Amino acid sequence: EDQVTQSPEALRLQEGESSSLNCSYTVSGLRGLFWYRQDPGKGPEFLFTLYSAGEEKEKERLKATLTKKESFLHITAPKPEDSATYLCAVRGGSQGNLIFGKGTKLSVKP
């Protein structure tokens, strides 16, 4: 069964304290792994797509990496405005729908 597990569920950081969010997945025929950011009361905002193991992508303070079993979202020197829920999703399997993890709620304190 296709599955996505994100950890930790919640993460509290001080401003400037770098850390990583984990997304472990099992899927047949991966067609892409996606990271989204979601603020309260809003739809998910697209961040990255990773298609194959070894691929990395960066955007400002965020860097996403992918292996055959998991993906990491590295946050370097986070700022309070980085506080949000980060969602990981994979697309694969016979139907190709997005399968979401439960998200990691990140709080960055000044």
Partner 1 sequence: GAVVSQHPSRVICKSGTSVKIECRSLDFQATTMFWYRQFPKKSLMLMATSNEGSKATYEQGVEKDKFLINHASLTLSTLTVTSAHPEDSSFYICSADSGNYEQYFGPGTRLTVT
Residues of this chain that interact with partner 1 (CB under 8 A) are 31-32, 34, 36, 41-46, 49, 87, 91, 96-98, 100-103
Which CB, 57 or 76, lies closer to partner 1? 57
Q: Where are the beta strands (DSSP E) in the chain?
A: 3-7, 10-14, 19-26, 32-38, 45-50, 56-59, 62-66, 70-75, 84-91, 98-100, 104-109
Measured CA to CA, the distance from residue 27 to residue 63 in angstroms comes to 22
Measured CA to CA, the distance from residue 15 to residue 47 in angstroms comes to 21
- Rounded to a whole number of angstroms, the minimum distance from the CB of residue 32 to partner 1 is 4
Chain centre to alpha carbon of residue 34: 7
Which CB, 37 or 70, lies closer to partner 1? 37
- Rounded to a whole number of angstroms, the minimum distance from the CB of residue 17 to partner 1 is 24
- Rounded to a whole number of angstroms, the minimum distance from the CB of residue 41 to partner 1 is 7
- Rounded to a whole number of angstroms, the minimum distance from the CB of residue 102 to partner 1 is 5
